[in-house]
């Protein structure tokens, strides 16, 4: 599994013109890609890693606090395009992405693990066209991969 993690002032998802309580204040927006062959252990690893990433500033201006420490929220959005392979040609290939039913199960597992950690989690709408608004704070953007490729 792969994630793009952004520290945000605010994030929201709109589907068919409606935000529908899919908005967070300070916290993290996580764009999550599920790859072919990923398992529940990958979802657990990423949830634990992201919940505890120390990327929020303490009172001395150092990045020493996690989203848990700051009582922030997480907006988790499934994004299969993180497995787009652009090395050949001009159209990305998505053969490394998990099938939709597998991806949905692992995306839901990831969300449940964040909630078990004590985080308030809002979600995108799996498989739908979404308009995502991200107000990045810092900017702080990190890539996290359960295979530790980056």
| Catalytic site positions | 79-81
From CA 78, how far away is CA 110, in angstroms rounded? 10
Asked whether the CA dihedral 31, 35, 41, 45 is positive or negative, the reply is negative
49: Cα within 13 Å, side-chain hemisphere: 20
Find all residues with CB under 8 Å of 96, minimum gap 6, and list them: 35, 36, 83, 85
From CA 104, how far away is CA 80, in angstroms rounded? 10
**Residue 103: is it exposed, middle or buried by C-beta count within 10 angstroms (0-12/13-18/19+)?**
buried
């Amino acid at each position: 599994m792969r994630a793009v993690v952004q520290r945000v002032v605010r994030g929201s998802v709109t589907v068919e013109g409606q935000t529908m309580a899919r908005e967070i204040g300070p916290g993290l927006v996580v764009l999550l890609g599920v790859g072919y062959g990923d398992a529940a252990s990958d979802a657990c690893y990423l949830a634990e890693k992201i919940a505890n990433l120390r990327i929020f500033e303490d009172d001395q201006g150092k990045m020493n606090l996690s989203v848990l420490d700051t009582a922030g929220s997480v907006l988790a959005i499934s994004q299969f395009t993180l497995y787009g392979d652009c090395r050949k040609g001009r159209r990305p290939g998505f053969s490394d992405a998990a099938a939709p039913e597998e991806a949905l199960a692992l995306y839901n597992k990831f969300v449940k693990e964040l909630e078990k950690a004590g985080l308030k989690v809002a979600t995108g709408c799996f498989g739908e066209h979404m308009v995502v608004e991200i107000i990045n704070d810092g900017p702080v953007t990190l890539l996290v991969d359960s295979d530790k490729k980056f």
